[in-house]
Amino acid sequence: MDGNNAMGSTANSASVPARSSCGVETLGGHLARRLVKIGVKDVFSVPGDFNLTLLDHLIAEPELNLIGCCNELNAGYAADGYARSKGVGACVVTFTVGGLSVLNAIAGAYSENLPVICIVGGPNSNDYGTNRILHHTIGLPDFSQELRCFQTVTCTQAVVNNLDDAHELIDTAISTALKERKPAYISIGCNLPGIPHPTFAREPVPFYLAPKVSNQLGLEAAVEAAAEFLNKSVKPVIVGGPKVRVAKAQKAFVELADACGYPMAVMPSGKGLVPEHHPSFIGTYWGAVSSSFCGEIVESADAYVFVGPFFNDYSSVGYSLLIKKEKLIVVEPNRVTIGNGPSFGWVFMTDFLSALAKKLKKNSTALENHHRIYVPPGVALKREKDELLRVNILFKHIQEMLSGSTAVIAETGDSWFNCQKLHLPENCGFEFQMQYGSIGWSVGATLGYAQAAKDKRIIACIGDGSFQVTAQDISTMIRCAQKSIIFLINNGGYTIEVEIHDGPYNVIKNWDYTGLVNAIHNGEGKCWTAKVKTEEDLTEAIATATTTHKDSLCFIEVFVHKDDTSKELLEWGSRVSAANSRPPNPQ
């Protein structure tokens, strides 16, 4: 990381550049306006000497707010969280030391199909090709190390060291990120942001992406084949996955569910993308750890439509799903595959779902089966007086906090499983990082999501081990006057890893977490903390956080037993452990 002090959202007026007097915009000004045009109003940054001039020009844009983070990793996670709410995010770091630090967050955004514009302040344009050795590098005159690292975790890369093609490079990178729903890397020479150029109009031409249109013949063939397949089935189901977000197909998914009457489930990584208040919703399909009675209905179906799925070892519970390919229709953002074939390319998800909805016969057989066998979840056992708070009691109370004006952020760990069981009211947001599963992601993501979704109060569930990775940017949340509620679950270690493979390395040094947050608060801004050990403590803390301190960042440290986990984690952990420990295939 370059720069020990995070940059504020304002700057000394003497350092803010004015617009060019010749009627032409500067490179830095053009980039700032482009970010605003695509919907970015907040940029997460860490200053370093190669990006300082660029930061001046971003600050000068009145519609853009620069948010300084404590380190580059959190800046990247914040841009990830922001993109989940706004559809696109951006971060700015310095060359190599900043770029390689933010790289892990950008890789996570890539895995989750989030268009994050990662902007790096690069070397002076005159230094390319000179055989000079620069600071912040590994000591070689080759400046391409950072670029090569980003090539595998971004969909496009632009190195701007010449003003003549800067406009084209920047616009191409941004448009590619938006079209591909993946991060983009843009490096800007440190001596270029303040220079005007004729290609930078004072008012940039409005940014426009041509809509993708399906191959009409392929669409018709896919719909006919799918309708024939489903209309002859007895008890079909539909399951939503994470790529519903990539295709922006939430409305089309609901349109199909309304038309067909099939029971509607969601993959764990798609939670929050499918409306859980819908009468056809039956829960999360996650193989052996599915919602009660959901897995049975899905796996006993004679046809299933998976919309935007992503199957990996985690989502398949160690490759143990009982899904048969010959019964399966997979709808990707731009392709439809029916059973073992045929497959139809350049058929887009929204077009396909809307057209299919008009061709399907109403069939509620599987939904009626679910209604017959469903038994509501049990009530937690009565606790003893002064008993240490149990995790299932904690999440019972969190469930009662949810509304359309809240959003849940679940950290990697047992919070995955406990938050999956939360029933989301209409318009309640939900986010977690299942594919990449980087511990510590949720701190930065909470910062970014809260900055983007100011109409919601974020409820973040974070384990103690994960919090130790990225705790610093609690500072930035306070400075941005955010009002999230963070439940820090203190169970003394990496619980999810304990259930996969235990060892002394899963035990961590305990911190005084509320003491740390109080020290970060330091009397500046609004922040309130509490320690919770019993249910009485919890109800009192929640009441205070939602009334007296409803406009403050609230940090509630919850003490639970180290072995108090969800039953789903116990089952999932044993199956993933078995998958990880498979012996080598015979040679």
Task: Give the count of alpha carbons within 13 A of 249, CB side only.
Answer: 26
- Confidence (pLDDT) at 15: 45
Q: How far apart are CA 482 and CA 502, in angstroms?
A: 37
Judging by beta carbons within 10 Å of its beta carbon (0-12, 13-18, 19+), is residue 568 exposed, middle or buried?
buried
- Confidence (pLDDT) at 499: 77
List C-alpha distances in Å: 135 to 49, 50, 467.
10, 10, 32
What is the torsional sign of CA 437, 442, 444, 447?
A: positive
- Confidence (pLDDT) at 587: 82
- The model carries a pTM of 0.93
- Using DSSP, state whether 205 is helix, strand or coil: coil
Question: What are the backbone angles phi and psi of residue 186, rounded to the nearest 5°?
Answer: -130, 120
Q: How far apart are CA 340 and CA 347, in angstroms?
A: 18
- Confidence (pLDDT) at 487: 98
Q: Residue 248: left if φ>0, alpha if ψ -120 to 50, beta else—which one?
A: left
- Confidence (pLDDT) at 205: 65
- Confidence (pLDDT) at 566: 86
- Confidence (pLDDT) at 9: 38
- Confidence (pLDDT) at 21: 45
Q: How far apart are CA 413 and CA 468, in angstroms?
A: 14
- Confidence (pLDDT) at 99: 97
Closest-CA residue to 478 (of 556, 542, 558, 555): 555
Chunked mean pLDDT (size 10), the chain, 587 residues: 39 43 78 95 97 97 97 98 98 97 98 98 88 86 92 98 95 96 97 93 71 94 98 98 96 98 97 97 95 96 97 90 96 97 96 98 97 87 80 96 98 92 96 94 98 98 95 98 97 81 87 97 97 96 98 97 86 87 89
